[in-house]
Amino acid sequence: MSLKSATALAAITLFAAPAAAQTNVVCDEASIVKAEQQIGQISDGAKKIESAKELGMAKDAMAANDVEKCKSHLENAIKGMDAM
């Protein structure tokens, strides 16, 4: 393999990994309810507060029909739960 091919392969791998790691969050009533249930089970007070805050902002965005903002806040709430 030539140096040029190896460099190209490394660049593709570097940029493909973050894209593959992104979650496909759907902002709908079922996702909100599921997140609420999961937040209720968090024992770490600070993480619970932060996730609940993000979920509240996701609900507000969903009510305003701002799907991208809703997805962003719901994703942040989920990430907060994963950091437990």
What is the structure's pLDDT at 84?
47
Of 16, 23, 30, the closest CA to residue 82 belongs to 23
Q: Is residue 76 part of a domain?
A: yes
Q: Is residue 19 part of a domain?
A: no
Q: Is residue 63 part of a domain?
A: yes
pLDDT of 53 above 60: yes
Contact 55, 74 (CB under 8 A): yes
Per-residue pLDDT band for 82 (boundaries 50, 70, 90) equals confident
Encode pLDDT of 4-50 as tens digits.
554 444 445 444 444 434 568 899 999 999 999 999 999 999 999 99
Q: What domain range is 47 assigned to?
A: 24-82
Q: Is residue 7 part of a domain?
A: no
